[in-house]
Amino acid sequence: MTTKIIISGSESPLLRRGLGEAISIQHISKSYKEVQAVRDISLEVQKGELFGLIGPDGAGKTTLMRILMTLLIQDKGEATMGGFDVVKDYKKIRNMVGYMPGRFSLYQDLTVEENLNFFATVFKTTVAENYELIRDIYVQIEPFKNRLAGKLSGGMKQKLALSCALIHKPEILILDEPTTGVDAVSRKEFWEMLKKLQQKGITILVSTPYMDEATLCNRVALMQKGKVLDIDTPRNLVDGYTRKLYAIRSNQMHHLIQDLRSYEKTDSAYAFGQYLHVTGKDDEVEATEFENFLMKKDHENLEVFDIQPTIEDVFMELLHEG
Amino acid sequence: MEKVITVRNLVKKFGSFVANDHLNFDVYQGEIFGFLGANGAGKTTAMKILCGLSSPTSGEAKVAGFDIYRETEKVKRNIGYMSQKFSLYEDLTVAENIRFFSGIYGIPPASRKVKQEKLLKDLGLESAKDSLIGSLPLGWKQKLAFSVAIFHDPKIVFLDEPTGGVDPITRRKFWDLIYGAADRGITVFVTTHYMDEAEYCNRVSIMNNGRIEALDTPENLKKQYSAKNMDEVFLKIAR
């Protein structure tokens, strides 16, 4: 349990607001016993930005979000949300931020409508007052407003949780892996909802383990084991990938990957959907060399061609370098 | 080729709700069979029936040659199962978990030691033998959970979203294990939300509202739905 120190007496000065940063993180570190969950992370999220923390479990995404949400205190470093310090001004931050944790944490034994009213009341507002903001999302679950939250399907729970996180009209929205374990269709719909919220001026910080979702963000931080590997726009990250990348396929994909890995000129060979993405040693291997080598291995319908990298290629390359 | 799963007119109702609506399909030996569908499409219900954990309302099904109404215990002994939610006991060590599951799956004590050593060597986990599962990285846990699920050489292994939460390289290494098992003749029945993984399957079925809407090779499905990749196929069927 983390306890909060309440600094009373002196009203903390309103920190610089309106400089364009909604979230500022400076050299934040946090450990749990011997595990270093977040290691010296610094990043800034601009007002109105849709910013993604991209990385697998154990990257430190949740810990970082909990620190920003004032639910955990960092060991080192400083962070502000809307100009307010996450330790000193935690009460102010809680009023202006919406949070959707990774685990469904609404009241299962209250109905859809009761949950929404509850959160509105806690924030001293009403559903009617801010209905406009949640309308697009809430209408989809309104037919089930008398159902217990615990009895909703996964997709409906997600929509209710988002509605509750928005009901006090937050300036900043923090979403911890909202699409994990969600099917491809619902994921797509969820991102469409996020885009609409962004257009209403809300700053959004969202985490995801799905690399393909990075392209839907304005900027992303690629994270692994408590560290930020890189921060940039998806476009710049992909443009910054300087290696020569080939897509290769044949009718025997499993043997193809084994053959390529046994080839002395192959640096890496990984499955990417219907193709393998392959790099050669020192990037000096030509497509024809791969082709000639594989022809000798009796691959049918062989295709070898240059391909543009995806964010996932960039991430994997960063892991190799690390 | 030998059929290891046959399903005919399988129906499962919960009250008036039809979770599985006349499913019909076969799965062959050594095949990697992708079982896809939106959340709530009925995948888990069907998988529970095939694993002998739930009885259908009507219809027929055989798994590993055994009837899913009358021979559920034989079904269970001839399959392996792994999911992201449950796989290994966190507060037992690697060796203890292997011993526990060896017992559950009825592997003769005489052959356990040799098999255990081979498994640890293949996975490069010899030094972690006495570590608690809870202390291992997620990627190691997943590899070990998969190996334990096929430790008794089952005919079929069911994988329920096995690769969630790991980095892209670890996720691909896990698929190397899946391919390896299929090469040894073990049928792999897998659910996933990663559409690139659907491409790695020999055949894929896509469920929607309790029915199987499509079942074919990824190649043929892409042609049939004029789609660039499996993601597009999925969106066209499940939306």
Structural domain contains residue A4: no
Whether the CB of B39 is below 8 Å from some CB of chain A: the reply is yes
Structural domain contains residue A141: yes
Which of the four pLDDT bands, split at 50, 70 and 90, describes residue B10?
very high
CA gap B44, A42 in Å, rounded: 42
Chain B residues touching residue A210 (CB < 8 angstroms): 194
Provide φ and ψ at B98, rounded to 5°: -65, -45
Q: Do A153 and A265 fall into the same domain?
A: no
Structural domain contains residue A322: no
Q: Do A284 and A267 fall into the same domain?
A: yes
Give A77 to chain B, closest Cα distance, Å: 27
**Nearest 10 degrees: Cα torsion A109, A112, A117, A118:** 30
Q: Do A31 and A175 fall into the same domain?
A: yes
pLDDT in tens, B13-46: 999 999 999 999 999 999 999 999 988 899 989 9
Structural domain contains residue A200: yes
Residue A25, CA distances (Å) to A234, B20, B63, B97 in order: 20, 49, 54, 42
> Residue A154 has what pLDDT?
80
> Residue A322 has what pLDDT?
67
Q: Do A251 and A140 fall into the same domain?
A: no
Which of the four pLDDT bands, split at 50, 70 and 90, describes residue B86?
low
Contact A86, A93 (CB under 8 A): yes
Q: Do A169 and A203 fall into the same domain?
A: yes
Structural domain contains residue A122: yes
Contact A194, A186 (CB under 8 A): no
CA gap B173, B176 in Å, rounded: 5
Structural domain contains residue A320: no
Q: Do A162 and A261 fall into the same domain?
A: no
Structural domain contains residue A284: yes
Examine the predicted complex and report whether its ipTM is higher than 0.90.
Answer: no
Structural domain contains residue A1: no
Residue in B with minimal Cα distance to A188: B235
> Residue B39 has what pLDDT?
83
Residue B144, CA distances (Å) to A121, A240, B151, B159 in order: 48, 36, 10, 13
Whether the CB of B137 is below 8 Å from some CB of chain A: the reply is yes
Whether the CB of A270 is below 8 Å from some CB of chain B: the reply is yes
Q: Do A104 and A80 fall into the same domain?
A: yes
> Residue B40 has what pLDDT?
84
CA angle (A169, A174, A179) in 5-degree steps: 115
CA gap B10, A8 in Å, rounded: 66
> Residue A274 has what pLDDT?
87
A89: domain CATH number is 3.40.50.300
Q: Which domain holds residue A302?
A: 246-306
Contact B157, B181 (CB under 8 A): yes
Q: Do A119 and A50 fall into the same domain?
A: yes
pLDDT in tens, B147-190: 999 999 999 999 998 988 889 999 999 998 999 999 899 999 99
CA gap B49, B56 in Å, rounded: 7
Residue in A with minimal Cα distance to B176: A254
Tell me if B164 and A319 make a contact (CB, 8 A cut-off).
Answer: no
Q: Which of A174, A179, A173 is nearest to A191 (CA)?
A: A179
Name the residue facing A182 among B39, B200, B239 (closest C-beta): B39
Tell me if A319 and B172 make a contact (CB, 8 A cut-off).
Answer: no
Tell me if B234 and A154 make a contact (CB, 8 A cut-off).
Answer: no
> Residue A6 has what pLDDT?
42
Query: What is the number of other CB atoms lying within 10 angstroms of the CB of residue A319?
Result: 17
Residue in B with minimal Cα distance to A155: B39
Count: domains in chain A: 2
Interface mutation target, options A62, A190, A248, A274, chain B, most CBs of B under 10 Å: A274
Express as a percent the part of chain B with pLDDT over 90.
81
Average confidence (pLDDT) per 10 residues, chain A, 322 residues = 41 43 97 94 97 95 97 98 97 95 92 97 95 93 95 88 96 95 88 95 96 96 96 97 95 90 95 93 94 93 95 94 74
Tell me if A153 and B40 make a contact (CB, 8 A cut-off).
Answer: yes
